[in-house]
Amino acid sequence: MSKNAVLLFIPGLREKDVERMPQLRELMAGGEIAQFVPSFPCVTCPVQANMTTGRLPSEHGVVANGFYWRDRGEIEMWTSPSQCIAQPQMWHRLSQHGLSSAVWFLLHSKGCEADYVCTPAPIHNPDGSESLWCYTRPTELYGQLRDTLGHFPLQHFWGPMANIRASAWIADSAVQAARQWRPNLFVIYLPHLDYAAQRSGPESPEADAAVEELDGVVGRLGEQFREAYDEEDLLWLAVGEYAIVPVDHVTYPNRILREAGLLAVREGDDGECLDPVASRAWALVDHQFSHVFVADGDRHVTEQVAALFRGQAGIAEVLVGDGLARYGLNHARSGEVVLVSEPNSWQAYYYWVSDEQAPNWARRVDIHRKPGYDPVELCIDPTTKSIPLDASRMRGSHGAPATDVTQHSVLVASRPAMFAGDPVADTEVFTAVMRHFGIAGA
């Protein structure tokens, strides 16, 4: 039996989607399927860190898709290197046992300890242009991939042009690496189901079409990996990360904080910008939750913020103090207050009073400059050819605690008895992979 394994991270994958994916089912034939329960916050980077470390944010420190570095007064969305993860990951444990690994497109994988790495890391040139580039290990790998596949299609990885081409490039580039190195563990992120489900809703025809498109990519990936490893018995695991649920409501925490006189703005070259340093409180929003950072941890202001949001439309929970520990968010990187949305609602970062005051980059795909996640970047105004400032357009979201089966995704394996039970928690993925490789103490 092969000891090699391929682990697919497919955000938004549900059991009903697997039923419409014949090529994925063929890849997993003879195995098992289980409900997958992500830990709150149910968003990309924390859940991926939970799976790759077997720990919760209170230990590994990935409390959201972005961080506010209080000592520098800087907001960092999506770009933190692997060093922000304060617990050993799968590839570290494997290397201790002489086993190799490859990590493809996990968002905190830049600089990680895996033997082979490929992740988006665009180079911004002095003239303002952008080379479509990836961080790779070895460094020369990206040049090889570019020569055979062309540049990574960053414009199709996120934004209004996001489509199957990005996931197809990721899969094809992984095949090249597999042929060259055959790592014992290959972890691959395929984000395609995220786009239509958020933009049009998880039950939309567009979401159904995305499932079919991704199934084709997975089918080709499976066939080519079997050829690359020269074996039929590779272990395959596919994890849904989180489920996207329908939403019909949006909350604007920063506008509420501004109305209360707690949030400060400053005028910049691009227009009105949120000023985290001058603010007494502001919210780093992330899908269906947000971290509210209170200057100097002021207890009176913290209580004021909590009172502002208790009973607020769209807000299910206001976590303060010991409440953060209930979800494993008791970490120095967390805000003093965490706001949790109702399942049918999500939170937008907007802080301006009128759209005329919005900064220029609010109407652009600019994921690193915005003080929070902006799914509206998946849309475009056909008249202005820019991102509309209309958060009500979004029809799907995720991130709130997975307390209902509709918020569970799925975990599929090509072999039986991989999991201790059903449902499976995200932290159990680490244990299952280590057990497969015969590594004790996981």
N-to-C CA span, the chain: 22
Question: What is the rounded distance in angstroms from the CA atom of residue 390 to the CA atom of residue 369?
Answer: 18
Residue whose C-alpha is closest to residue 335's, from 245, 261, 272, 253: 253
So what's the pLDDT on residue 79?
75
- Token readout for 174 is 């992984």
> φ, ψ for residue 378 (rounded to 5)?
-75, -10
> φ, ψ for residue 254 (rounded to 5)?
-70, -30
So what's the pLDDT on residue 418?
92
So what's the pLDDT on residue 70?
95
So what's the pLDDT on residue 217?
98
User: Whose structure tokens read 């489509």?
Assistant: 163
3-state secondary structure at position 340? strand
So what's the pLDDT on residue 441?
65
So what's the pLDDT on residue 439?
93
* pLDDT, tens digit (0-9, with 9 covering 90-100), for 150-193: 999 999 999 999 999 999 999 999 999 999 999 999 999 999 99
Instruction: Judge whether 160 and 171 are in contact, CB under 8 Å.
Output: no
Q: Which residues of the chain have pLDDT under 50?
A: 125-126, 130, 132
Alpha carbon of residue 295 to chain centroid? 27
Residue whose C-alpha is closest to residue 395's, from 210, 243, 244: 244
Question: What is the rounded distance in angstroms from the CA atom of residue 118 to the CA atom of residue 362?
Answer: 29
So what's the pLDDT on residue 133?
77
So what's the pLDDT on residue 391?
97
So what's the pLDDT on residue 121?
79
Q: How far is CA 260 from CA 255, 294, 301, in A?
A: 9, 13, 11
